[in-house]
Amino acid sequence: MSEFIQLHMLVSYPPSNLNRDDLGRPKTAVMGGTQRLRISSQSLKRAWRTSEVFQKTLEGHIGFRTKEMGAKVRDSLTSGIPIGEILAGKPAMPSPSGIPEKEAAAWALKIAGVFVDKTGKKDDQKLGVEPEEGGKSKGTKKEKSSNIDTKTLKGEQLVFYSNNEIAAIQDLIATLLKEKREPKAAELSKLLQETLTSVDVAMFGRMLANATKNNIEAAVQVSHAVTVHEIAVEDDYFTAVDDLNRGLEDAGAAHVGETEFSSGLFYTYVCIDASLLKKNLGGDIVLAKNAIRSLVEAAAKVAPSGKQNSFASRAYASYLLAEKGAQQPRSLSVAYLAAQRDRDPLAGAIRNLTETRKNMDKVYGNCCDASCEMNAVTGTGSLGEVLDFVADIHA
């Protein structure tokens, strides 16, 4: 039976534009017939997993999500620099002790193809053949289309690589550099790891079209954060002054711009399947506990980075309710289906959440076995107590 940890958070952001749509406007959603401000789950998860809180605590157990592994493998082969250092941003220049560019690119394509379908599943199409007028081609040779660009070695899909898979890639690169040969099929088959030690992959999952047996079901589900009240998106007209303009000839601004923003009190729901997380991490209970603590701390303290230099809209959670149990999880977003119009929005939001939770327990029975609460408005509870609570999971 699965053990679930559920988080219910209320976070108030001042004027901000934390998560923008394709037009640069703050993202919104209609809920209960009124417009709410929204922060996407993708934005929240990236902010948390790339945060200093998460990265430092779980150092050595963090993976990489990228389309560019093929190019990085090629750079490692040509320069002799370990792949981990290249992924961390170290410049890679070709070295006499490395593999020549042409061979390195071919070998890198094979290595990347283990994770990305290098032959693709598209219809055959003519590659490298210039079409004639009328759409006819001069050549007749056909090859399968590729999901990896053979020039840039960039894949079409993002792949989440675990840290032990990156280590396996590095071991293979070291062998190829030493023996000056291309990788063998048996060596390539060992790159995909069934047991992961990367917390971010275990938490947020991955999908590999080329190796479905190595797909990872996400152990953490994150809702889109929405405001508990109706909002209006506003325009900020701003100017910038040229410091060397003394106003003698032109007193106008050197730059005129416009940006959109809004503010609000957000409700966010997170569900952690602790049993699945342990399974994804190969049964490592200590690592699972550290992962849960780090995630909850990041969720309470880390804001998305969008437009932070313009608005400085960093915020901690003002209220956090954590629940544990084997019961079927449920969000409490229905507490805010009707947009709040309280004079004290935060106190009203906490009151509505508490009342909704109590009434759900009345009609369904207890929806969790235990809970822990932190309220920064009244100064009751603490983040430390919540972290100890969520990390106390069954072995």
SS3 state of residue 180: coil
Question: Which residue stretches of 31-92 are H helix?
Answer: 41-49, 52-57, 69-79, 83-87
Tell me, what's the pLDDT at 128?
A: 35
The whole-angstrom separation of Cα 176 and Cα 153 is: 18
Q: Which amino acid is at 90?
A: K
Q: What confidence tier does 119 reach under pLDDT thresholds 50, 70, 90?
A: low
The angle subtended at Cα 81 by Cα 78 and Cα 87, nearest 5°, is 105
User: ∠ at Cα 337 (331, 341), nearest 5°?
Assistant: 125
What confidence tens digit (pLDDT) does each residue in 214-257 have?
889 999 999 999 999 999 999 988 889 888 888 777 878 888 88
Mean pLDDT of the chain: 90
- Coil, strand or helix: which one is 187? helix
pLDDT at 25 over 70: yes
Assign 184 to helix, strand or coil.
Answer: coil
Of the candidates 206, 120, 196, the residue with the CA atom closest to the CA atom of residue 159: 206
Cα(44)–Cα(46) distance, integer angstroms = 6
> What is the end-to-end Cα distance of the chain in Å, rounded?
13
The reported pLDDT for the residue numbered 151 is: 86
- Report how far residue 211's alpha carbon sits from residue 213's, in angstroms, rounded to the nearest whole number: 6
Cβ burial, residue 140 (10 Å; 0-12/13-18/19+): exposed
Give the Cα-Cα-Cα angle 155, 161, 165 (nearest 5 degrees): 120
Q: What is the DSSP string of 80-121?
A: ---HHHHHTT------TTS--HHHHHHHHHHHHHTTS-SS-S
Confidence (pLDDT) at 146: 64
Nearest CA to 208 out of 276, 121, 116, 113 is that of: 116
Asked whether 227 and 36 are in contact (CB, 8 A), the reply is: yes
Distance CA 165, CA 71 (A): 16
- Give all strands (DSSP E) within 111-244, no chain letters: 159-161, 220-222, 225-227, 234-240
DSSP 209: T
Q: For the residues 288-297, what does the mean pLDDT come to?
A: 97
Tens digits of residue pLDDT in 135-171: 444 443 333 446 888 888 988 888 999 999 999 999 9
